[in-house]
Each structure stands twice: as C-alpha cells, then as structure tokens.
Amino acid sequence: MTRTPRSPRRALLAAAGAAALALPLLAAPTEAVGSAPPPPAPRTGFEISDGARWTTEAEETDFLAALDRGSPRLTVRTVATTAQGRPLRLATVGTGPTTVLLICSQHGDEPSGREACLTTLRDLAQARDHTTRAFLARTTVLVVPTANPDGREANTRGNSDGVDINRDHLALRTAEARALAALVRDRRPELIYDLHEYGATPHYYDKDLLTLWPRNLNTDPRVHDESHTLSEAYVRPAAGRAGHDSGIYGIWTDPVTGKPVKQVAGDGQERILRNTAGIKHAVGLLVETREDAREPDEHSDPALSHRRRVATQRAALQGAFAYLDEHGGRLLAATARARHTGFADRGPILLGGADNDPAEPTEILHDPPCAYRLTDAQYGEVGDELDLHGVVVRHEGDGVLVPLRQSQRALVALLLDPRAAYGITRGEPVERC
C-alpha cells in the first residue's frame, strides 16, 4: 500500500502534539532527594488507546476517583444529576485567591476539551515541582470535566432532551446549566474558560484553534479588555508556539490577505456562556479546536486528528495559565471593580448589539428603571432562576421588587425587561423606588 508522505507542517504538529500530551501542563515534576517515588499516574482511556478512542464515562469515573484518592490537593464531588441519572462532577485543585473555572464539553459531540481537562487535572494534582505548587498556592482551579454527560454518552451536541446547554445560561431550563449557574454564583470565579470544537470551512475558516471573548456590550470595559488580552496575548500565542495556527471564532478570513471577510457566528447573545460570564463580571473565553481532519494522514488515521485536537486544547490552556500567573493581580482588580459598579445604578443598559456591532436605538435603555416588579405568580415561576443567578430581590406586599441597584444590574434588565430578547418573564418597570 502506498503511504501519503507526511507534510513538514504535519510532522511538526505531530511532534508538538506528542510533547503536549506527554508533559505536565506547567513544568516537569521533580522529586526531593531520598523521597519515595510517586504512585503510578492514572491514565485516561484516550491515553491508553493513544487517541484511537475517547475516554468512556466509566473510565472517567475511575480516573477521577484515583486522582481523588492519590492527591491530597484535589477533591471531586457531584454537583448535579442529569435527566438520565449521570453525575455532573466538579474537581477542585489549588487553594489560591484567584479562581478559574474550566467548563469542558458542554456540547457532547466535542470531546477534545474534556480529554484536555482530565489530563490537566492529573498534571496539576500530582506535580511535585515548585512552579506548579506556587501556581496552585495562588490559584484555585475548578474543573467540570464533562458539562454534558448525557450528550457525551450519546455523542450529541445537546443534552438528553436535545437542548443546547450553551444557549441556556439565562433561562436555566436544563439541570446542566442550573448546576453551572449555581457554581458561578457560589464560587465567583474570576475567569470562566469554555472548551469547544468546531467544523471547518476550508481556506476561510480552518485554523487549529479559534477563540472569542465576551462580546456583550454590558460587559464591564475592564473585564472585556482582560478577556481580549487573555485571548490575543496569551492563549493564541501559546497555541502558535506549539505549532498550531489560530484565529477569531466566527470570523472568516481571506486566505491570501488574512483580512476578515464575513462574520458567521459569535455575537453578543447574553444566553451564551462566554457572554453570561462577562455580564456576571468574570473574564470569559471561548476556545474551539478544529474537529475536521487536516491532511491525508489524519483522514487515514483518526487517532492523529484526535491527538492534534487534544494537544491544541492543552497548548491553549498553557496560555491561560500563563495569563493567570502574570495577570492575577489585574484580573482580581478588574473583576472586583466590575462587581461593585452596579451598586451605583448609573448608565445605560444594552439589550442588543456586540462589541463589533453597535446596539440599535430601540435596544438601548438610556434611563433604566430603578427596579422591576413581579407578581407572586411570576416570582413563583422564575424565583429559583433569579436565585441561581445570584439576583437580589425584595418582597413587598403581594409581589416582589427586583432592584437594579445591585452587582448584577445589567443582568436584571436582561432577565426581566419586557423588551429583552431572552428574558425569563416580563417584569413591570418601576420608575421610582
């Protein structure tokens, strides 16, 4: 049989991918002289098969249990149960003041982020080097390895009810999105990092990695700028150093000039996690790896494509962790200031638009009300969702008053204003409080 010659670029990527899959995320672990050797590191099904198949649910369960037993710095707990009875797990490693939340495989047919999250957890939990220990003293890493367990089992984008979880971060109709909202409310991460995959359009939209920050116009400018810095100065360059090309998610580019020619995705919808993150005053980033085979050798051997996809995710995570190391102080300051801005109750609220698409005049609340009033019946229908979002309410007479003077000021309007595109109920605007 005639074999297709491997291109120089593919040979480089194969070498870089093997290195990214083989090495710990931050630095090689070191052992003190005379110390006992560490126990054998657990391996995922993906690693055992050398990328020929994805890790099964049972293998993930065993892998996380082994990590939990073997490392005092890592804990695993179940935070929700899906409609089909599968656990939604949260793994925690590190004790630092800066918190990052990794959401892996919201779409069940996009598995590379999940594999990268699982091996990253192991590398952080079992590393013995000073660099990683210092990083974990400054950082708390929260990981949801499989954010859509039913979809992952069925290899479907949506959950078992066919709902796209990444369009449910406002209405919170799914058990999966509700669990993530509660996690964001209770742990208040400064950075939310969302791992996905995408289908390529050759020549115009076919990079190994695409990224995008919160485009919603209600994102605090400081949070928006930090999200942009994370993407453009850290995550994409880290992928490039590992041999992977990158671009902006949702933007087609001319293959000759490299200039944008068309936007096909990536607006400011508040119900998408990267935008919800920005509205809730966390730096957010969507990362997408190309799921299609790139060259003939990947078509003939899918394991090569699988390994490239996971290696790209891991390289991007290297960049995110470097950002946390170098920008931790700025990140904490930006999110803290953003979380207090709403209490001033000043300025317009935007019901549409994006950072590259100005809101229409009808989408601008130039002089927002001071609150929205809900009837008891309305509150009975949406009270749980408001609580999961961390929205503060005040019971008054036969109804509930939801003031805008609170940390999540813009979110209140996006949830309750009669003109909001994805609101959960139509509140009555109150002009005087």
Amino acid 132: pLDDT: 96
∠ CA(147), CA(270), CA(407), 5° rounding? 95
Instruction: Kindly tell me the sign of the dihedral angle through the C-alpha atoms of 329, 330, 335, 340.
Output: positive
The amino acid at residue 43 is: R
- Asked if 372 and 402 touch (Cβ cutoff 8 Å), the reply is yes
Note the pLDDT of residue 51.
98
Are 288 and 185 in contact by the 8 Å Cβ rule? The answer is: no
Long-range contacts of 132-135 (CB under 8 A, 24+ apart): 132/24, 132/25, 132/26, 132/27, 132/29, 135/26, 135/94, 135/96, 135/321, 135/324, 135/325
The 10 Å Cβ neighbour count of residue 399 is 18
Residue 341's nearest CA partner among 431, 404, 269 is: 404
Return the amino acid letter for 157. R
Q: Distance between CA 214 and CA 269 in Å, rounded?
A: 9
pLDDT digits (tens, 9 = 90+) for 335-377: 999 999 999 999 999 999 999 999 999 999 999 999 999 999 9
Give the distance from CA 423 to its chain's centroid: 22
What's the confidence (pLDDT) of residue 5? 40
Beta bridge partners of 429: 372
Return the pLDDT at 252: 96
With respect to CATH, is domain 10-22+52-339 assigned 3.40.50.720? no
Beta strands in 233-335 (DSSP E): 246-248, 251-253, 260-263, 283-290
Q: What is the pTM of this model?
A: 0.93
Q: How far apart are CA 202 and CA 350, in angstroms?
A: 35
Residue 34 confidence (pLDDT): 52
Residue 45 contacts residue 56 (beta carbons within 8 Å): yes
How many Cα atoms occupy the beta-carbon half-sphere of 218 within 13 Å? Answer: 31
Token reading at 137? 């003293």
The pLDDT of residue 38: 65
The 3-state DSSP composition of the chain as helix, strand, coil percent (nearest 5) reads 40, 20, 40
| pLDDT tens over the chain, length 433 residues | 333 344 444 444 444 444 444 344 454 444 444 556 666 899 999 999 999 999 999 999 999 999 999 999 999 999 999 999 999 999 999 999 999 999 999 999 999 999 999 999 999 999 999 999 999 999 999 999 999 999 999 999 999 999 999 999 999 999 999 999 999 999 999 999 999 999 999 999 999 999 999 999 999 999 999 999 999 999 999 999 999 999 999 999 999 998 999 999 999 999 999 999 999 999 999 999 999 999 899 999 999 999 999 999 999 999 999 999 999 999 999 999 999 999 999 999 999 999 999 999 999 999 999 999 999 999 999 999 999 999 999 999 889 999 999 999 999 999 999 999 999 999 999 999 8
Alpha-carbon distance 160 to 113, whole Å?
20
Question: What is the identity of the amino acid at 284?
Answer: G
- How many distinct helices (H) and strands (E) make up the chain? 14, 16
The pLDDT value recorded for residue 176 is: 98
At 101, is the secondary structure helix, strand, or coil?
strand
Q: For 416, what's the count of Cα atoms within 13 Å in the CB-facing half-sphere?
A: 33
Q: What is the pLDDT of residue 35?
A: 57
Q: For residue range 86-109, list pLDDT tens digits in order.
A: 999 999 999 999 999 999 999 999
